[in-house]
Amino acid sequence: MKAAAFDYVKPASIDQVLALLQEHGDDARLLAGGQTLMATLNMRLSEPQLLIDITGIESLRGISVQDNVLRIGALATHTDIELSALVARHAPLLKTAAPHIAHRAIRNSGTWGGSIAYADPAAEWPACLLALGGTVIARGPKGERRIAADDFFTGLYSTALQPDELLIASEIPLAGADHWFGFSELARRHGDYAIVGLAATARREGAVLRNLRIVLMGVDATPVRTRQTETLLEGKALDLATVTQAVASLRSEIDPPPDLTNTPQTKRHLAGVLLQRMLPTAASA
Ligand SMILES: Cc1cc2nc3c(=O)[nH]c(=O)nc-3n(C[C@H](O)[C@H](O)[C@H](O)COP(=O)(O)OP(=O)(O)OC[C@H]3O[C@@H](n4cnc5c(N)ncnc54)[C@H](O)[C@@H]3O)c2cc1C
């Protein structure tokens, strides 16, 4: 299919984007890497009258360390993140997760901001942002605001971003020397969206983990923290009995919907398998 006709504009500043969003409201869509939007236009799942191409706004690019956070601009591509030395040092979870996103051609165009704003529950970046305890920076007509990842993903493809706001960047706390993370996912073929995925972070204290954030993707309408299991593991030695208990806990606190090929039972089982494989890496590292 072909997209319905639309007008196209490529503003050079954030203020121009915000003015266009105010003027056109729901008749306008932002275009970043286009790796999701173009498909929805071509399938006529979305028929905006105006596409606002934000790729000309240089201030939305870049990855930097500012004070005590890693700042990832909305237009940083998946490949920029995958290859960034700053990301590797300060948020290694993202470097590990990046190769699981689609294929190189898509990673070269698709952006951090597009992925976070689109909020696919099976996507890697939303789950990682949540596991890292990051923040979204949004700018709208009333100025800039920061939204914690815990409050950002509100429903299926829905976020706390208002229609007149632009996601401009995210901030992620810098990983300390005691940082532990894990990432794993199961997909039918490499590059497919995950059937189930798991992103986790914690602070290592001797042989135990503290401040765990365990996030599953592909098991609900949003990426989900498994808070009961986080609490169960807090400060515990990761022996076989604890890991077995944690796996049972994780399975009990999710209620995954089926997808085209997997039942809820399969997804629940696979989520437990991912945790069972991951926890021993924390004990042995
Ligand atoms: C074949 C294929 C396989 C894929 N596999 C995966 C995968 O395994 N994992 C995965 O995570 N993704 C996957 N993707 C999606 C890909 O990662 C997209 O790049 C990403 O989801 C959207 O980023 P984008 O920059 O392309 O956004 P666009 O497609 O340009 O936009 C997506 C949506 O976000 C909005 N938007 C974009 N930028 C902003 C902003 N700064 N502020 C507010 N709203 C904004 C747009 O208006 C639009 O509604 C796949 C895509 C394809 C085509």
Per-residue b or e along 110-125, where b marks 16 or more CB atoms closer than 10 Å to that residue's CB: bbbbbbbbbbbbbbbb
Q: Does ligand 1 lie within 6 Å of residue 114's CB atom?
A: yes
Atom of ligand 1 nearest to the CA of 138: 42
Q: Report the CATH number of the 183-284 domain.
A: 3.30.390.50
Residue 196 contacts by C-beta under 8 Å, 6 or more apart in sequence?
185, 186, 216, 217, 218, 219, 256, 267, 270, 271, 274
Contact 181, 91 (CB under 8 A): no
Q: Which CATH class is domain 61-172?
A: alpha beta
- For the CA of 113, the closest atom of ligand 1 is 41
Going from the Cα of 124 to the center of ligand 1, the distance in angstroms, rounded, reads 11
Parse the chain into domains and list their residue ranges: 7-52, 61-172, 183-284
Choose the residue to mutate in 118, 137, 139, 188 for probing ligand 1, maximizing ligand atoms within 8 Å of C-beta.
118
Question: What kind of fold does domain 7-52 have according to CATH?
Answer: 3.30.43
The number of the ligand 1 atom at minimal distance from the alpha carbon of 38 is 29
132 lines ligand 1 (CB under 6 A): no
**Per-residue pLDDT tens listing for the chain (285 residues):** 789 999 999 999 999 999 999 999 889 999 999 999 999 999 998 899 999 999 999 999 999 999 999 999 999 999 999 999 999 999 999 999 999 999 999 999 999 999 999 999 999 999 999 999 999 999 999 999 999 999 999 999 999 999 999 999 999 999 999 999 999 999 988 888 999 999 999 999 998 999 999 999 999 999 999 999 999 999 999 999 999 999 999 999 999 999 889 999 999 999 999 999 999 988 765
Find out whether 246 and 239 touch, Cβ atoms under 8 Å: no
Pocket of ligand 1, candidates 10, 13, 30: which has the most ligand atoms within 8 Å of its Cβ, to mutate? 30
Rounded distance from Cα 35 to ligand 1 centre (Å): 5
Ligand 1 in reach of 35 Cβ (< 6 A): yes
Nearest CA to ligand 1 atom 53: 35
